[in-house]
């Protein structure tokens, strides 16, 4: 007899889902019983950190990890990070435990009468099978939905007495089934977009995270070069879709209407690929686009193309669209536009400017290093100083909340063991996911964590000024000793105040094969 548990592990093998991130409770133990030796279980100390690790792993590997969480309490604790998997389009499959099926209606301990409703607003699909016989099929559906464009998280709640039941004679059909996604931009749409770009005098590209997620960066470069078009990254980027060292790279668009409209005003054709139009953040209203300019939007997300307030949209796979456009448009001969340069910040006594920190990291890290960044007040400094040339070199919080960066770096490093991961984390952000250090130490995951310690919530200070909000309570974060905290979790750490010391510490960290935390004293400007 094949049990439902055995059939589910067969399903996970079929889809390459042999990495499981978890923080289990009593309801999950029968699922984890006789855990297969070829599977890898990564334990985290808090459900939010577990979700962030899985999110980072999913983005960096392109594969679906399974996340094993406790019932309502555990799943609820993960929901601070779950929105990031939605906006990052991470195909994370969450499996939460549930009490014995016949007792759930009594609201017994660690049960959840509405288990499917809890994460539903923050997932593509959420369910609790009506009977044990539908557990395997429901998990298969969750895997398929998570991986169909636009990718995203799914959730299944399973009562723990279901695992020992018989899977049934048709389980092999469900395990062996394959689902293929849409694969091509329609020819007539390709011709329409090509004609618009060829007719434009001054086209511009705006690229989003799905370019990087679909490994289409090289085709984006080919398209930009053939059009001789400058390239901007869409606002608040979660990934880097274009090499920052390329002469056509212009930087990151601001997250407000007026700022974007001004920067794009000289272009008569704006091609936005793999990003929403647009995810504004700062309220500076105005006309979306200059008169005489046309915006063309290509996305693999029906919601993105439907909700955009302007522009003509095409629903299509990003990698196929970019590859075919790059081979279809007419080649132009033009000099790359000049890129605006900003003056480098100046260090103070025992405090470095963030420019110094990012410049040192860029100079000393391996050329193909991966940067996981959650330091919201230093974004401009990061993009001005860090060179990124390869696909999958940058990950940041897509939803805007905190707690993703530090544990996500652990997941990214697990997914990309041949590359070195640097986590650049603000001191405010670090506290949301600090328990991720324990997992890094437990499994010897060699992330270099750089905590930019400016002793304040810099982003809140900035927004307070922007909104003219006076009389706010204090946002200072004094006297947090990240060296001692890291040591307590088993991670070697040191504190640095000068560029010379920082460079020494980075050199040593990159030469080693253990996780290291560097507390870099900076100031907020």
**Residue of 22, 46, 47, 80 marked catalytic:** 47
Torsion over CA: 18, 148, 402, 359 (sign): positive
Q: What is the CA radius of gyration of the chain?
A: 24
CB 83 within 8 A of CB 152: no
**Residue of 15, 70, 371, 521 marked catalytic:** 70
Element (H, E) at 30: helix 29-32
**Residue of 10, 15, 22, 28 marked catalytic:** 28
3-state secondary structure of 204: strand
Q: Check if 112 is active-site.
A: no
Half-sphere exposure of 403 (CA within 13 A, CB side): 21
CB 272 within 8 A of CB 264: no
Q: Check if 47 is active-site.
A: yes
What residues does 448 pair with on adjacent strands? 422, 516
Q: Which two tokens stand for residue 482?
A: 């990240």
Half-sphere exposure of 184 (CA within 13 A, CB side): 5
**Residue of 16, 26, 303, 327 marked catalytic:** 26
**Residue of 10, 22, 25, 428 marked catalytic:** 25
Q: Check if 380 is active-site.
A: no
Q: Check if 155 is active-site.
A: no
Instruction: Please state the three-class secondary structure of 68-102 as a single string.
Output: EECCHHHHHHHCCCHHHHHHCCCCCEEEEEECCHH
Which residue has tokens 């470095």? 352
**Could you count the other beta carbons within 10 Å of the beta carbon of residue 514?**
15
**Could you count the other beta carbons within 10 Å of the beta carbon of residue 461?**
16
Give the span between the Cα atoms of 308 and 196, in whole angstroms: 20
Burial class (CB in 10 A: 0-12, 13-18, 19+), 107: exposed
Give the span between the Cα atoms of 122 and 76, in whole angstroms: 11
Percent helix, strand, coil in the chain (nearest 5)? 40, 20, 45
Give the span between the Cα atoms of 84 and 153, in whole angstroms: 10
Which residue has tokens 């939007």? 297
**Could you count the other beta carbons within 10 Å of the beta carbon of residue 340?**
8
**Residue of 62, 259, 400, 490 marked catalytic:** 400
Instruction: Please state the three-class secondary structure of 255-284 as a single string.
Output: CCHHHHHHHCCCCCEEEEECCCCCCCCCCC
Structure letter (DSSP) for residue 444: T
Helices 354-364 and 499-511 meet at what angle, rounded to 10? 30
Which residue has tokens 């939803």? 399
Q: Check if 400 is active-site.
A: yes
Q: What are phi and psi of 294, to 5 degrees?
A: -120, 135
**Residue of 114, 215, 281, 476 marked catalytic:** 281
Residue numbers annotated as active site: 25-26, 28, 47, 70, 281, 400
């Amino acid at each position: 007899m094949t049990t439902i548990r055995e059939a589910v592990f067969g399903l996970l093998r079929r889809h390459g889902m042999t990495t499981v991130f978890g923080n289990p409770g009593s309801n999950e133990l029968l699922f984890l019983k006789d855990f297969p030796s070829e599977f890898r279980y990564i334990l985290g100390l808090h459900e939010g950190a577990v979700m962030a690790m899985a999110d980072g792993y999913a983005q960096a590997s392109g594969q679906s990890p399974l996340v094993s969480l406790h019932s309502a309490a555990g799943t609820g604790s993960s929901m601070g990070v779950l929105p990031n998997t939605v906006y990052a389009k991470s195909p994370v499959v969450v499996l939460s435990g549930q009490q014995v099926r016949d007792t759930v209606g009594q609201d017994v301990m660690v049960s959840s009468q509405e288990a499917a409703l809890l994460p539903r607003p923050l997932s593509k699909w959420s369910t609790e099978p009506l009977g044990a016989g539908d557990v395997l099929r429901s998990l298969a559906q969750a895997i398929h939905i998570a991986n169909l464009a636009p990718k995203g998280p799914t959730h299944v709640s399973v009562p723990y007495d279901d695992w020992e039941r018989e899977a049934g004679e048709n389980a092999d059909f469900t395990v062996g089934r394959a689902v293929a996604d849409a694969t091509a931009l329609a020819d007539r749409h390709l011709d329409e977009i090509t004609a618009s770009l060829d007719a434009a005098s001054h086209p511009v590209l705006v690229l989003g995270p799905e370019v990087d997620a679909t490994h289409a960066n090289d085709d984006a470069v080919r398209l930009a070069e053939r059009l001789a078009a400058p390239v901007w990254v869409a606002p608040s980027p979660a990934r880097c879709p274009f090499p920052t060292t390329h002469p056509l790279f212009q930087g990151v668009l601001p997250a407000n209407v007026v700022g974007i409209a001004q920067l794009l005003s000289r272009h008569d054709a704006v091609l936005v690929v793999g990003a929403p139009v647009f995810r504004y953040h700062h309220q500076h209203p105005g006309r979306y686009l200059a008169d005489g300019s046309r915006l063309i939007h290509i996305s693999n997300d029906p919601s993105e193309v439907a909700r955009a307030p302007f522009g003509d949209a095409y629903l299509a796979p990003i990698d196929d669209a970019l590859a075919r456009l790059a081979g279809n448009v007419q080649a132009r001969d033009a000099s790359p536009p000049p890129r605006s340069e900003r003056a480098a910040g100046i260090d103070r006594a025992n405090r470095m400017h963030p420019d110094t920190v990012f410049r040192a990291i860029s100079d000393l890290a391996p050329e193909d290093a991966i940067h996981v960044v959650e330091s919201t007040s230093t974004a401009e400094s990061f993009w001005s100083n860090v060179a990124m040339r390869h696909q999958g070199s940058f990950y940041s919080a897509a939803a805007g909340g905190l707690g993703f960066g530090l544990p996500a770096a652990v997941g990214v490093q697990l997914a990309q063991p041949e590359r070195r991961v640097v986590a650049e984390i603000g001191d405010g952000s670090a506290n949301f996911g600090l328990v991720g250090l324990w997992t890094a130490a437990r499994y010897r995951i060699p992330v270099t964590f750089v905590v930019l310690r400016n002793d304040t919530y810099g982003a809140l200070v900035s927004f307070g000024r922007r909104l003219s909000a006076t009389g706010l309570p204090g946002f200072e974060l004094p006297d947090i000793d990240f060296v001692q905290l890291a040591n307590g979790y088993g991670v070697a750490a040191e504190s640095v105040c000068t560029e010379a010391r920082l460079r020494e510490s980075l050199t040593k960290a990159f030469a080693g094969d253990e996780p290291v935390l560097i507390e870099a004293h900076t100031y907020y400007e």
